[in-house]
Amino acid sequence: MRPIIPFLAPVWAALTEPAYALLRLVAGGFLVPHGLWKLFGITGSQEEMLAFFSSIGLEPAWPFMIAVGLVEVVGGVLIAIGFLTRPAALAATATTATAALYFHLQYGFYVEAGGVEFSALWAIALLFIAMRGGGTWSLDRLVGRAV
């Protein structure tokens, strides 16, 4: 396909991989504080998170909270550095899609009302990363492996 604005083609070609690496870095990095809360109570009360998991029927709450926290911390770091990117992003897609459908959807669309908007965006971005893999600027590429 020919670009609509041909003189910008070299710019898009030059920025595609850095922009994707930035998406991966931000998506993975933003997952980590959520997981730290669940695993260590760093950014909020771990007891409140346990109560929340119980209140929405995720029982036993403790193993679910630990599993999601591990996906967010370990998976977030792996996504950010681009190592084992596909399995990490797929696991994160599963947790964010579950949050979107199991909890947020009942509150409608808008994030201000607790709706699905933000969590669905997370799930779709992480699914994109899972499908694309680490990309050129990743440890997956550096070690010559893609899962």
Domain assignment present for residue 146? The answer is no
Domain assignment present for residue 55? The answer is yes
Look up the domain containing 71 and give its range: 27-133
With a CB cutoff of 8 Å and minimum separation 6, the contacts of 82 are 21, 24, 134, 135, 137, 138, 139, 140, 141
- Which residue's structure tokens are 């950014």? 43
Q: Are 116 and 107 a contacting pair, CB within 8 Å?
A: yes
Domain assignment present for residue 3? The answer is no
d(CA 58, CA 56): 6
The structure's pTM equals 0.92
Tell me, what's the pLDDT at 145? 77
Tell me, what's the pLDDT at 147? 55
Domain assignment present for residue 13? The answer is no
Q: At what angle do helices 46-55 and 9-40 cross, to 10 degrees?
A: 100
Domain assignment present for residue 16? The answer is no
Considering its fold, how many domains does the chain have in total? 1
What is the per-residue pLDDT across 119-144, written as a single tens digit (0 to 9) for each? 999 999 999 999 999 999 999 999 98
d(CA 32, CA 90): 16
